[in-house]
Structure formats: C-alpha cells, structure tokens
Amino acid sequence: MAALVIGGLVGLRASGLSQHLNLENLQGLSQTVRDLGWVAPLAYVLLWVVACLFFLPGLPVTLLGAAVFGAWWGMLWVTIGANLGAAMAFLAARYALRPLVESWAAQNNQFQKIDQGVARHGWRMVMITRLVPLFPFNLQNYAYGLTKIPLRTFVIVSVICMLPATVAYCLAGGALVSGQGDIKRTLLYFAAAAVFFAFASLLPGWIKKRYLNASAAAGEKIPVLREARPPIRVLFVCVHNSARSVMAEHFLRRHGGTSFLPESAGFEPGDVLPAAVEAMKEIGLDISAHKAQGVYELAEMGRTYDYIIAVCSDLHGHCLPDFPGAKILHWPFPEPSTFAGSWEERLARTRNVRDQIQQATLRWAAEQNPAQG
C-alpha cells in the first residue's frame, strides 16, 4: 500500500495532473467532467478521493464542483467527495499506511501538535482545526488517523465544520457559472457567497476566542498554539518479533500516550505466539493482528530511532544493525517460544514474562518524563 501511494504521487507528478489542477484550467476541466454525462458525479467524487490521498489542492476541486454541477448540486457533491476522501486518508493512516505515516509524523511538528491536541481536547481539536486554517486539509486527514479519534466522530465533526466554507466557495463558483448571462442571478450568488465568506471567516475567530478563554479559566493551554517536543522513537527488538517485543510495543503505546512512537521488530520475523496473544488479551490488549517486521529491513530503509531496546536474553548469534544516533538498551526476558509443558503451564510462564515487561516499560517511560521537557 505504501508503494502504491508513493507510486501514485510519482505518477501524478509525471502525468502533470497536479500542475493541471489549478484555477486557470478550471473551464477546460469542467467541460471534461460534463462530457462524462451521468457518471460525472462519480468521477468527481473519485477525483476528491485522489486529491485527499495524494495531496492535490482542494480549492480548485471545490470550484470545479460548482462549475460542473452548479452552486446547489455542487455543494452536495463537494460535501460527499471531500468527506469521503478525508475518511479514506484517515483510514489509510490508521491501518494500511500506519508505519509510513508514523515515520512522517516523527519528523513533522504539525503532526505532533495535532496529536497532543486530540489527547487533551478530543473531538474539539477536530472542530478547531477544521474551522481555523492552522494546518493543511490533507495533512489533517492523515494526522487524525494516527490519533485515538474514532472514525465516526472524525467524519461527523468534519462534515459539520467544513460546511460553511463549502457553501461559500460553491456559491462563488455558481456566480461565475450558473449566473452567466443573468446579471441578477450573478449578483445574488455573489452576495450570498459574501455572506457565507464573512460567516466562515468570523466563526473560527469566535470559537477560538471562546475556547481559549475557557481553557485559560481552567488553567490549560491549547497544545496547537505552542511548540511540541517530538515524541521519543523507540524500537523494541527480539528474535522473532512474536512475543516479547510485541508486548513491549503495545505497553508503551498504551501507557506512553503521545510522548512515544513505539515499534517492534525481529531478527527472524515470525507469527505472533498464541500464548502471547492470550496473555495480552487477558489484560485488554489485542496483538493478534500484529505483523512482524525485520530489524535489518528497517535499517536498510533508513529508519531512525532514539532508543533501540533489545528484550531478548539471547540474540542467537545476531548483531544489531547500525541505527545512527540511537541509544542501545538491553532488557533480558525469557523467550516464551521455548517454554515447555502443557498449554496452561506455558501460558502461566508467558503471563509472568508479560508482567515483567509491563513493569519494565512503565518504569522506563516514567524515567524519560518527556512531558517535562
């Protein structure tokens, strides 16, 4: 999937579509879409999905909707297309492209500010960023996929908060297209667009002021308005990436919040150990869908980390590859795949390893105390 997105970006640049999709070419593009007949709405919605996934500019696409379908139908198709595209980017970041987007997030301060804002303010952060243009639209869609915001909440808040700007731009586009040859209709559309532009421009300031006053009264600060300290990037390593390193990754993800970006990998990647899945399930963590990564492959990709933590008692002849700048730690824990005996006996010993890893992870995370930086 990551290769598909990267390939798509390269293909769009090579095809010239990203350069062709601009206000100057609006008339020609609108005629091309109209010529599609009854499939034009579907093609337009798909264009929005492509725009959101591949970081194409949204304003020309919005005005294109008004130019093709008119102001009122344009509002409908813009709303459907923009929000469907945003949801697709959100899901791509949460599932299919998570490692790739997390690597972007580790080096992008805007991602981190959004993540901190969601951790403190929940859905209100989506509302603020949709209304106040502090972050690029396409960046937001991917960034929220990494947070704990539910998809349904993201979609509902986005639809509501994006509607004023959608109405304003579609009315402006309708004034230029639907009003051609009718001076009264043209003036009416421009007047309506001006009203909604004024509303859309004043509403964010009112909400921002009201929210900042409420936060100040509660002794809080909006994270988006201050510099965020980058999260600590951690790679847990064991032999197979099938039990110990997976447990450590999920414990740090659960207890470390947005202060850490944990991953795990193995020297000989294998399937997740059933006893590890069961032991983690008992405490509310599902690791059954974990896909093992190879530590050598990560090094070849040029991935960077602040800490490499080996959680195996024996490297079995393997050597850690070089990750420039990373600090190496060693937490030796017994290897659950070597446990003998009945299922109950192996599960009991795996639970013991689980508890040891959780204690070590919690203790180490508290020592880092990144929130105080």
Of the candidates 52, 161, 170, 312, the residue annotated as catalytic is 312
Fill in the amino acid letter for 95.
Y
Distance CA 25, CA 29 (A): 6
Is residue 238 among the annotated active site residues? yes
Centre a 10 Å sphere on the Cβ of residue 10 and count the other Cβ atoms it contains: 10
The DSSP string of 288-331 is: TT----BHHHHHHTT---SEEEEEES--TT--PPP-TTPEEEEE
Q: Which long-range contacts (CB under 8 A, 24 or more apart) does 6-12 make?
A: 8/50, 8/53, 8/54, 9/54, 9/55, 12/50, 12/54, 12/56
Strand, coil or helix: 24: helix
Strand, coil or helix: 224: helix
HSE-CB for 62 with a 13 A CA cutoff = 21
Distance CA 165, CA 78 (A): 11
Is residue 319 among the annotated active site residues? yes
Is residue 52 among the annotated active site residues? no
Question: Tokens representing 323?
Answer: 């990750």
Strand, coil or helix: 14: helix
CA distances to 4, 10, 21, 90 from 7, rounded to whole Å, are 5, 5, 19, 19
Distance CA 165, CA 157 (A): 14
Q: Which residues are catalytic?
A: 238, 312, 319
